[in-house]
Structure 1
Amino acid sequence: MFSIQVDSINELGDAAQQLLKAFPNERIFAFYGKMGAGKTTFIKTICRTLGSKDNITSPTFALVNEYNTDSDSSIFHFDFYRIKNSEEAMDIGFDDYVFSGNYCFMEWPEKIEELLPSDIVEVTIEEVTPNSRLIRANKI
């Protein structure tokens, strides 16, 4: 189990490094948290840590964004907040992304729970104070 409290946005880089170090062989991360908890901000920081210089934004309407890294690998960032059903995820080629071997970071994975592979890292972000977050992760 991974757990870290960050008390400012400036500490997210260290938290991202520690999360990736805690799960070095994992590529599929499901992010849980309330609206405004910081899921997108943390994913952006993780992508930067992995070497992406792309413009990283929440794919709220596109469902998935692809970012490139310095090592020419891809990172896939999903946002299922607006999805109506799991068929929409399948229509964008969800399985192809998830089983590509590349990093996949998912916001609002509870919307497609039945499609999630059994071997993922669940990351939960909880607001402690307006500027502090408790980030916990566990491989399921």
Structure 2
Amino acid sequence: MKMTYTQKDLPEMAEKILKNVKSKVILFKGSMGVGKTTLIKELANHLGSQDTASSPTFAIVNEYEIPDDLIYHFDFYRIKDIQEALDLGVEDYLYSGHFVFIEWPEKIESLLPEDAVELYIRMGMDGTRTLTIDI
């Protein structure tokens, strides 16, 4: 599934993503600054979070409450190796049954569940984003 969007389309994109994914583990792939965290913020809002979602670049993981559930938002950009993720207990999060949104999942690829959904974001020359969902 492939969709092109702009900033104003984010609420509609969040709804489409959540209607089409079949896993609560969602992997966000794309270059630095392409809008992964911005899309995650919109997904958290759409799921009913009252928390202000922000990049967990330094904390590695942020937790957001939503009605009757949780979202764990990871950013693995800064980890040095897979052992660092294991030391954080990432496997417990991945198989918790809660939403898990992961930026830079390539860093922990061997740990990811088979049913995780991959989202690829690319920025166009005109500032639009193209989202490809591997469902």
Q: What secondary structure, in the 3-state scheme, does the structure 1 residue paired with 2:49 have?
A: coil
Residue 102 (1) aligns with residue 102 (2): no
The offset of 1:115, in angstroms, is 1.1
The offset of 1:129, in angstroms, is 2.6
TM-score (norm 1): 0.93
User: In the alignment, which residue of structure 1 is the partner of 2:61?
Assistant: 64
Q: What secondary structure, in the 3-state scheme, does the structure 2 residue paired with 1:11 have?
A: helix
Cα distance in 2 between the residues matched to 1:20 and 1:131:
23
The offset of 1:111, in angstroms, is 0.9
Q: What secondary structure, in the 3-state scheme, does the structure 2 residue paired with 1:134 have?
A: strand
Q: Please, what is the CA RMSD of the aligned residues?
A: 1.0
After the TM superposition, which residues 79-98 of structure 1 pair with which residues of structure 2 at under 5 Å, given as runs? 79-98=75-94
Gap runs ≥5 in structure 2? none
Percent identity reads 45
Residue 126 (1) aligns with residue 126 (2): no
After the TM superposition, which residues 41-56 of structure 1 pair with which residues of structure 2 at under 5 Å, given as runs? 41-56=38-53
Residue 5 (1) aligns with residue 4 (2): yes
**Consecutive aligned runs of 4 or more in structure 1 exceeding 4 Å deviation:** none
Count of equivalent residues: 135
The offset of 1:108, in angstroms, is 0.4
Question: For 1:5-43, what per-residue CA distance to the aligned partner results, in whole angstroms no more than 9, with x for missing partners?
Answer: 00x2110110010011012x4100011000011000001
| Letter of the structure 2 residue corresponding to residue 15 of structure 1 | M
Question: For 1:38-71, what per-residue CA distance to the aligned partner results, in whole angstroms no more than 9, with x for missing partners?
Answer: 00000110010000010111100111100001x1
User: In the alignment, which residue of structure 2 is the partner of 1:22?
Assistant: 20
Question: For 1:80-105, what per-residue CA distance to the aligned partner results, in whole angstroms no more than 9, with x for missing partners?
Answer: 00000011111111011111111100
Question: For 1:105-125, what per-residue CA distance to the aligned partner results, in whole angstroms no more than 9, with x for missing partners?
Answer: 000001111111111100000
Q: What secondary structure, in the 3-state scheme, does the structure 2 residue paired with 1:129 have?
A: coil
Residue 78 (1) aligns with residue 74 (2): yes
